[in-house]
Chains A and B, each alone.
Chain A
C-alpha cells in the first residue's frame, strides 16, 4: 500500500467513522441508562435526514443551498427529532420499563418498523436528492483530495461528541444520568426525577442521530427511507467495539470501525465485497471474547 493510499483510506475511515460514532453515541447512552438496545435508532437517523431535507428545501428559498441552509437544517432537525425520540420513549418504552427485557427489545423492533414503514409510505420508496452547493473544493496532499466539506464534517461531529461528553461528565444533569445508569432505584430515592433523566437521554441521543442524518444526507446528497438500516447495524457494532454504555467508547468504536472498513477493503487479495464480513465478524469476535468492549465496564446484573 502506498503512502497516498494510506492517507486516503485514513481520511475515508475518519469520515465514515465520525458518522458511526455519532449514531453509536445515542445507542450507547440509551443502553447505559435503561439497558435497552434501541433498534429504532437507525430509523431516527433516517428521520433526521428527512426532516433536515425538508427544512433545507424550505429555508433554501431565502438563504440558498449553502452552509447556512445546512446549519439551519441541522439545528431544526436535531430539535424536532430529539423530541420524536422523547415521544417514542414516552409511549413505546416507558410502559414497558418494568417488563422483561425481551418484551422491550421487541417493542424497539416494532418502533423501528413503525418509523421505517411510515417513511416508506410517505416517500413511496423514492430516493430524494439533497443537493447542496458546498462543492468539491478542498486541499490536495499529493494525490489525496480532502474537501472543506469533509473537514467541517469531521470537526462538527467531534465538536458534538465533545459537547456531549462534557455534558455527561460536568453538569448536574449528566451526573444524574450517570447515577440512573448505575442504579435507577437508588437514584429515585435520592430525589432524581428518573423519568425526566431518561427522557433527556433519549432527546440527546436522538438529536445526535438526527445531526448525523442531516450531515450524511447533505454530504452524500441523497436521502431514502432505508438509509438507517445499515447505519443502525454498523453503529451498533461500533458501540459494542467501544464498549456499549460508554460515551468515549462509542466515539472510539465509531472511528475504529470506519478505519477498519476503509483498510479492510483495501487489503491485497481481499475485495470490497468482504468489507461487511470484516465488520460483522469483528462484532461477533467482540461479543464472544470481550463483550464489554474496549472502554466499557462490566454490567453487573442486579437481582
Chain B
C-alpha cells in the first residue's frame, strides 16, 4: 500500500507540475515526431536537430507573434505501433503543430490521430503516395512524392536534348512504377520511347538488354531501379560502346554505385533528393549545424530546417496559434527555403518536385546547375 501511495503522490505532483507549465507559459508548443531509436535513429536525430536550429533562431529573435516556441520530441522508431503511441502522446500534450515523420509506414497510422485532433502536421521525409490518400486535410507533405521524380526526370531529358529513351527497370513495384510514370510523362512531352526493358535483380549479365537498347536507337537510358544493377548496366552499356546519356533514379544514390561503375560512371546523371551537399545556398547551414551538433548534417537536415521555418512562417501569417488558421496558412504557403520552394497543391503535396539532377564527375556526385 505504501508503494502505491507513493506512486499516487508522485503522479499527482507530476500532473500538477505539467498543468502549471501549460498554464504559466502562453508558449506555442511544436511536436517533433521522428525515429530517435532503431536503425534510422541517425536520420531522426538530424530531423530533431535541424528543426531545433530553426526554432532556436526564431526564439532568439523574439519568437512568433510575441510568443516563444517550445519543442517536444516523440520517438516513433519508424514502427507503426510505436508511432501511434508517440502520436497520442503529442496530442495529449496539447501541441499546436507537429512536424517530422521519416518512414511512410510509421506515419500512415498516425494521420488519423492528428486528423481527428485537427492538428497541423508537416511531414518532412515520408513520401509514399498512400499518405496523400489517407490525409484528412491537416497534413502536408514537404518532400516530393515518389511519382514527382518523373517530372524532374522529363525536365532533365528535355534540357539535355534527349529524344529517344530506353527505360529499364527491375520488375519490382517501385522501379516499374517509376519507369511507367516517366515514360508516360516523357511521351506526353513529345519524347519517343525506344524500348522498355526489365532485368532480374541479382543477375549480373545484362548483355541481352544492352544489345536491345543499342539496336533500338535510343539516345539515352533511364534506369529506375537500384544502385547494384545500375552500376552493372552502366558498365555493360559503355563496354558495348553505347555513347548516349545514362540517367539513374534516386535508388542509385549510393557511393557503391560510383565504386562499381568506376570510370564508366563518369557523366551519368542521377535524380537525387535535396541533400545538404547538393544545395548551393546551404553551406552556412552545413557549417553551423556541424558547429552546433558536432556532426555532419544528414540527407534530410536541410529540408527539416526548412519545415521548422515553414511552420513558424505559417503561424506568423495565421496571426494566432489557432490550429484551423495555421492549416489555412500552410495551404497558402509560398515559402522559399534551403531545399527549394514549398508551395502546396490542393492535395497538400508539393507543387514542384524537389528532386534535383546531379552528375558524376571525378568519382563524386556534383549538382547540375
Inter-chain contact B208/A9, CB cutoff 8 Å: yes
Q: Contacts of B199 on A, CB cut-off 8 Å? A: 272
With an 8 A cutoff between CB atoms, is B215 at the interface? yes
Inter-chain contact B260/A127, CB cutoff 8 Å: yes
Inter-chain contact B260/A221, CB cutoff 8 Å: yes
Q: Contacts of B259 on A, CB cut-off 8 Å? A: 129, 131
**Dominant secondary structure at the B interface:** helix
A126-B256, A221-B232 known; A266-B212 Cβ under 8 A: yes
Cα separation A102 to B214 with both chains bound (whole Å)? 47
With an 8 A cutoff between CB atoms, is A162 at the interface? no
Q: Contacts of A4 on B, CB cut-off 8 Å? A: 215
With an 8 A cutoff between CB atoms, is A136 at the interface? yes
Chain B, residue nearest A220 (CB): B204
Min Cβ gap A55→B in Å is: 19
Interface residues of A in 81-133 (CB under 8 A from B): 126-129, 131
Inter-chain contact B208/A265, CB cutoff 8 Å: yes
Inter-chain contact A220/B211, CB cutoff 8 Å: no
With an 8 A cutoff between CB atoms, is B209 at the interface? yes
Supply 11 further A-B pairs (C-beta < 8 A) apart from A12-B208, A262-B211.
A8-B214, A9-B208, A15-B205, A129-B262, A143-B214, A220-B232, A221-B231, A221-B260, A221-B261, A226-B202, A265-B212
Cα separation A79 to B363 with both chains bound (whole Å)? 35
Contact residue among A129, A145, A266 (Cβ-Cβ distance under 8 Å from B260): A129
Q: Which of B209, B211, B227, B256 has the most CB of A within 10 A?
A: B211
Inter-chain contact B200/A227, CB cutoff 8 Å: no
Inter-chain contact A271/B202, CB cutoff 8 Å: no
Chain A, residue nearest B198 (CB): A273
A129-B262, A136-B239 known; A222-B204 Cβ under 8 A: yes
With an 8 A cutoff between CB atoms, is B68 at the interface? no
Cα separation A266 to B214 with both chains bound (whole Å)? 12
With an 8 A cutoff between CB atoms, is B196 at the interface? yes
With an 8 A cutoff between CB atoms, is B207 at the interface? yes
Chain A, residue nearest B209 (CB): A272
With an 8 A cutoff between CB atoms, is B347 at the interface? no
A2-B215, A127-B231, A145-B240 known; A220-B205 Cβ under 8 A: yes
Inter-chain contact A136/B204, CB cutoff 8 Å: no
Q: Contacts of B235 on A, CB cut-off 8 Å? A: 220-221
With an 8 A cutoff between CB atoms, is A282 at the interface? no
Min Cβ gap B178→A in Å is: 16
Interface residues of B in 194-252 (CB under 8 A from A): 196-200, 202-205, 207-209, 211-212, 214-215, 227-228, 231-232, 235-236, 238-241
Contact residue among A145, A220, A231, A262 (Cβ-Cβ distance under 8 Å from B241): A145
Cα separation A226 to B215 with both chains bound (whole Å)? 31
Inter-chain contact B207/A16, CB cutoff 8 Å: yes
Cα separation A244 to B199 with both chains bound (whole Å)? 28
Q: Contacts of A265 on B, CB cut-off 8 Å? A: 208-209, 212
With an 8 A cutoff between CB atoms, is B191 at the interface? no
Number of chain B residues close to chain A: CB under 8 A: 32
Interface residues of A in 1-29 (CB under 8 A from B): 2, 4-5, 8-9, 11-12, 15-16, 19
Min Cβ gap B169→A in Å is: 9
- Identify the 9 closest CB pairs spanning chains A and B, nearest first: A273-B198, A12-B207, A129-B259, A265-B208, A129-B260, A145-B241, A16-B205, A220-B204, A272-B197
Chain B, residue nearest A217 (CB): B204
Q: Mark A261-284, 1 if CB is under 8 A from B, else 0.
A: 110011000011101100000000
Min Cβ gap B172→A in Å is: 11
Contact residue among B207, B228, B240, B262 (Cβ-Cβ distance under 8 Å from A127): B228
Cα separation A8 to B239 with both chains bound (whole Å)? 13
User: Interface size for chain A: under 10, 10 to 19, 20 to 34, or 35 or more residues?
Assistant: 35 or more
With an 8 A cutoff between CB atoms, is B337 at the interface? no
Cα separation A226 to B241 with both chains bound (whole Å)? 28
Q: Contacts of A136 on B, CB cut-off 8 Å? A: 238-239, 241
A221-B235, A221-B260 known; A276-B200 Cβ under 8 A: yes
With an 8 A cutoff between CB atoms, is B171 at the interface? yes
Inter-chain contact A12/B260, CB cutoff 8 Å: no
Cα separation A266 to B208 with both chains bound (whole Å)? 7
Cα separation A8 to B197 with both chains bound (whole Å)? 17
Cα separation A261 to B199 with both chains bound (whole Å)? 12
Cα separation A181 to B215 with both chains bound (whole Å)? 47
Q: Contacts of A286 on B, CB cut-off 8 Å? A: none
Q: Contacts of A224 on B, CB cut-off 8 Å? A: 228
Q: Contacts of B241 on A, CB cut-off 8 Å? A: 136, 143, 145
Q: Mark A207-223, 1 if CB is under 8 A from B, else 0.
A: 00000000010001110
Inter-chain contact A229/B202, CB cutoff 8 Å: yes
Inter-chain contact A216/B208, CB cutoff 8 Å: no
Min Cβ gap A144→B in Å is: 9
Contact residue among A8, A9, A16, A222 (Cβ-Cβ distance under 8 Å from B231): A222
Chain B, residue nearest A226 (CB): B202
Inter-chain contact A222/B228, CB cutoff 8 Å: yes
Q: Contacts of B238 on A, CB cut-off 8 Å? A: 136
Cα separation A129 to B214 with both chains bound (whole Å)? 25
Q: Contacts of B214 on A, CB cut-off 8 Å? A: 8, 143
Cα separation A288 to B159 with both chains bound (whole Å)? 54
Q: Contacts of A16 on B, CB cut-off 8 Å? A: 205, 207
Cα separation A11 to B261 with both chains bound (whole Å)? 22
Q: Which of A4, A8, A224 has the most CB of B within 10 A?
A: A8
Inter-chain contact B197/A271, CB cutoff 8 Å: yes
Inter-chain contact A9/B211, CB cutoff 8 Å: yes
Cα separation A231 to B200 with both chains bound (whole Å)? 12
